[in-house]
Amino acid sequence: MFNQQQNQNFQGSSQMPDHQSHGGHEMFDAHEAISSLIGGLEQGLLYEQHIQDPELKTMLQKHKTFLTQMYNTIVETLNTGQEPSQKTQTYMMSDSNNVLYGMKPTQPKTPAQAVTELNDQCISSFMMGNLKATASGFTMTALETTNPVLRRVFADSVPNLIEMAYEIFLYQNKRQYYQVPQLKPEEMQIYMSSFAPVQNPMQH
């Protein structure tokens, strides 16, 4: 009798409509992740009017178009629990992946005291921060999502967010907003030689 009552408390996803096939934890995390994406899109509206460099403005607009489609795909999947009509796309950055290594002295930074002090360096950093936060939120949400389609949409979106953040990094690096120090060659070699492959991993 007790086991019969226990079993009545459980219901398999195959026994319910797709749009209800979501767990509670999943709902909370998805809500937070989608809100993070909305926040990034809305902040982009504020940034755009202060951008000076046409290249950065074009990048922001390209990101906005892609992220808006990403948002629509996620919202549709959340509401239906089924394959979205618009599949997850692959973001293709337009810049080469040439990284400038090295450091040179720069003036110490201080927080801007007026909106007029916001420049392209500030704005590109804001864009980077939003993408990093969204990528982290999407990763955590994918790990907590029970609906297989929604989980895959969140997971498949993370590489696109990473690619957009990398594109911004390259923009910043090219202008020396984001400098990349390196270890000495001998120190780098020590780190690179710190690990070795497992021999014949399939043999026991």
Give the mean model confidence (pLDDT) for residues 130-150. 94
CATH superfamily of 21-93+117-192: Ferritin, core subunit, four-helix bundle (1.20.1260.10)
What is the rounded end-to-end Cα distance, in angstroms, of the chain? 47
Q: Is the dihedral of CA 82, 83, 85, 86 positive or negative?
A: positive
**What separation in angstroms does the CA of 53 have from each of 45, 131, 183?**
16, 20, 32
Note the pLDDT tens digit of each residue in 83-99: 899 888 999 988 788 99
Residue 170 near residue 117 (C-beta atoms within 8 A): no
| Residue 176 contacts residue 104 (beta carbons within 8 Å) | yes
Name the token pair of 58.
């074009």
Which phi and psi (to 5°) does residue 110 adopt? -135, 155
For the segment 89-116, the average pLDDT, to the nearest whole number, is 90
Flag whether pLDDT at 31 surpasses 60.
yes
pLDDT per residue as tens digits for the range 32-86 = 999 999 999 999 999 999 999 999 999 999 999 999 999 999 999 999 888 899 8
Phi, psi of 156 (to 5 degrees): -70, -20
Tokens of 132: 């990093």
Count of other CB atoms within 10 angstroms of residue 69: 13
CA distance 22 to 145: 7
**Are 131 and 40 contacting, i.e. CB atoms less than 8 angstroms apart?**
yes
Angle formed by the axes of helices 120-144 and 24-48, to 10°? 170
Give the DSSP H/E element, type plus range, for residue 129.
Answer: helix 120-144
